[in-house]
Every structure is written in structure tokens, then in C-alpha cells.
A and B are shown apart, each in its own frame.
Chain A
Amino acid sequence: MSTLTKKERKFDKVKFKKYSLKYVISIVRLIFLIGMSFVVLFPLFQKIVFSIMTSTDLYDATVSYIPKHLTTANYAAAWQKLGGISVILRTLGLTVACSLLNVACATLVGYGLARFKSKVTDTIFLVVILALVLPSDLLFTTRYMLMTATGLTDTWVPMLLFSATCTGFKASLYIFLMRQFFKGQPHALEEAAYVDGAGPLKTFISIMLPGAVSMMITIFLFSFVWQWLDSSYTSIFMKKIELISTTYGKLNYDNSDTSALSTLNVSLTKAAGVIIIISPLVALYAFTQRYFVESISRSGLVG
């Protein structure tokens, strides 16, 4: 390489230093991120492994993560304890209904709060924040009294009412997100629509809604997850209706058998139960996660 001048060689050294530093940084970053992913994914991996093991594998010292005796018995047991297809479908129906109502309500109210500023809407926004901050158990007493007085407990109505008005579990967060999202959208399109003679409702439906789809999907995801896994509301308002949140407790014990072996089996069944419960959520997440950050970064949370 004698053709290189002194200056060029020096430049090469600087370049080398710069690139090697970059390389080291990216390796460190990769190791760190793999570590963090391990923290998140390992418990899940463990559950999956246990869910297909037999109890002899748990005792077998040569088995760590790859079971020798594969079995689907844990899934069958967990499926039966959770109540089978009817309970799963019922929970799915309730969750979808509540999530759709939540999305519809949050979109309407969020738009109203973002675009039509008056003293009343400002007060309503304060109430949204208040509802977000208050522990929901504070409100349960009177809600329960109201529902028993009207005879609506142990039906779907209370949950549907809470969802349709966005007063359920963390539901005011959805309104908050929607309001921030619409606040970040430009006014020009709506003004053009008003000039062309469209009313507020028509403007909202045909101009604003199409742009808000990714945010609506995000809110649907949140709402679906929290409703599917919710036991605080359903254990009070829907005690007698069998949902995953009322049957999952059965995973914790085995009535027929109390020997030491059965407690091991219960653990394995429970692992299978957890996998059954979260698999629809993971599937939904896989389909919707690309909207997730996108919608929030466009929501103008910053200002």
C-alpha cells in the first residue's frame, strides 16, 4: 500500500477507529437488548415448555427444557377446567362487544373534546382525568347498588353500559389518547368540509374517521386485552356468568386428588391454562402491533 500518501493513511486510521467504535456499540446494544428480551420471553417460554411436559419429566434430572414425554393432556385438562368452548366463546363475545363500544365512544368523545372547545367540554375533560386517577373500587359500591336496585347484575348490561360510556376499566385513558390524536391532526381538511357545507357529524365520519383508523385499532387492542383479562369488574357485576375470569380459579386446585403428585399436575395444567388464555391476545398483538407505535407517535402526545 505504498501508493497511499501519509495523509490518506492517517485518514484511514481515523476511519477505522470510528467504525470499530460503531461496531462495539452495536454489539453492546445487541447484548443488552437480547438480555432484556430474555427477561420478557423466558417466563413465556417456560410456561410453554411446562404445558407440554408430564410430571415425570419435572422429576427427571436429565430433562431441563426439552421434555422427553410430550403430552397434550395438560391442555385438555386446562381446557376442561376453563369451561370449554362455550366459556371461551362467551368471553370472546363480551370482550369484542365491550371493545367495539369502547372504541366508538372514545372516538366520538375524543373528537368532541379535541375540536369543540367550550367551558363544558373543558369540565368534561377534567372529569376524564379524574376518572383516570380514581381507583375504580371507590366507585364500585354505588355502581353495584345501582345495578342490584335495577336488577341488572349477572347480565351483560352493566359491562356494556360501562363500555358504551367509556367509564369502565382504564377507559378514560382511551378518551385521553383519542383527544390527543385528534388535537394533532390539521384543521385545514375540516375547514374545507365546513365551507363545502358539510355538518360536524358528516365531517367527522367522512373526513376524520379514515385518518384515525390506526389509533382506533390501538385502542381496540388495549381494550380487548384489558377486558379479556379483567377480573375486578366481572367478579362483582357478573359473578354468576361463567367467563374465563370466573373459571380460571379452578386451575389452581384439583378437587378429586390431593396427593403430592396432583399438585405437580396442577402446576402443569396451570401453565397450559395461561397459554390458552394469552394465545388470542398474542395473535391479536401480532396483527396490530405495527399500528401501535405509529398511532401514538402521530397522536401529538408531545404538545
Chain B
Amino acid sequence: MNDRPELFRGNRILLGCIYWAFVLYVFVPLILMVLMGFKDSRFIGFPIRSWTLDWYVGVFANTEVLSTFGYSIAIAVLSTLISVFVGTWIAVLLESRKFTGRPVIFGLTVLPALVPGIISAIAFRIYARWLGIEPGMGAIIWSHAVHNVPFVVLVVMARLSTLPKSQMEAARDLGADPLVAFVRITLPYLVPAILGASIFCLLLSFDDFVRSFFLGGYEPTLPVLIFAMLRSGMSPEINAIATVALIMTAGIGIWAERFTRRMKKDT
């Protein structure tokens, strides 16, 4: 990549150190979390006097924890699909040209991101009742989707603003109508932004507690479950659940990446 590495070597080493220090910073708490899942006690923390596998075994023995995990993943994926679709559309509108009311639309778009969690949860709950949406999976997906749209819009707009105008014009000159031009030119250009935004949305949804709690029914999402379990103490069991969830999420992520890569090769 660098034609003349000697020129940038000093920077590179320095930046490399910063990068790995950052890796350390984000991973140390993670390692502690995994480690504490092996502690033979009802509470996490040092010193660890004896070790046990019971907590991890318990997670796999407990089908309800696993079904909660699946439930959370399903909610995250479905709400992300909606957010990405709506968010991209809004971003395209906002970047298409200047028009009267554009700042108003932009303001309304970022609104859900600005409201503190508890307020938005209660507002959603009351609004859901007004709309006749029953609490449960659909309601959670709806609230996550609405809440995450602003993040998609911000990320996609940033990328869209750098799209060379000439490409669109060239497409038009070749006779492409706006829809085809969008699908063939704009969308591929937006792929990195859309992927990034999807990661945001998946994370926000997967980690959301308040909205899931207020709009959920008798089946908890993972964070709702963890919050309730926390009532009787931060036990290694929660660490074990979180670790297993992390490993499974990573597994699904890697599989999805492989899968999409293979799909691309095939076509």
C-alpha cells in the first residue's frame, strides 16, 4: 500500500501502539467478564477463591435463556431491516436537493435520538395503545425501528454527500431512469455506510432495555432478563449468559459475513 514506507514508518509505529492500547482498553473489561463467569460464588469480583463450570453449564442447560437470546436477535434483525430501509430513503430525500422545509424534516428525523430513553419508552407505550398495537414482539420491533432511523440517516447522509454527481449524470445520459440509477449507482456506493448503520442498529436494539421493557409482554429480551436478574445481585450467572450471548452473536456475524461473500462470488 505505501510506496515509500520509510516516509511514514515513525507515524505508523506510534499509531500502531495507540491502536493496540485501544484494543487493550476495550478488551480488558471483556476478559474480566468472561473470567468472572467461572467464579464459584454468587457475586463477581476479586479475589476468586474457587472456580466452577456450573454457571456456563447452567446457561446451556437452560433452554429459556437460549430462547430469550433468539428472541432478542430476531427483534434486532427485523427492526434493523426496517430502520435501514426507512433511514436510507429519508437520507436520499434530504441529500437530493435543497427544498423548503428541509431543516424541518431533518429536525423531525433526528428527534427520536434526542429523547431520553425512559421518556421515549413511555411515549411509545402510550402511543402504541392509541394506535392499537398490542405489547409484544411487534411493538418492540416498531419502537426500536423508529428509534434507530436517525442513526441510519446521519451515517448514510454523510456518505451520500460525497457521491460524485458526475456518476449520476452519466447514468442519466445512458438513459437510466431515477430508480435504476439509484439501484445501480447510489446503492452500491452506499453499501459501506449501510453496513455501518446496520451494525449501529443491531447493537442499539440488542442492548436496549427501556423500550423493550415498556413495550414487551411476558417474554423478556436479553437486557430485560439481565435487569430483572440483577435484582438478586450481579451473579456470575449473568456474566456467563452475556459471554455465551457474545460468542453466539460473533458466530452468527462470522457466518453472515462468509455467507454474503459466497453469495457475491456465485453471482
Bound pair (A, B): no
What residues make up the interface of A, taking CB atoms closer than 8 Å to B? none
What residues make up the interface of B, taking CB atoms closer than 8 Å to A? none
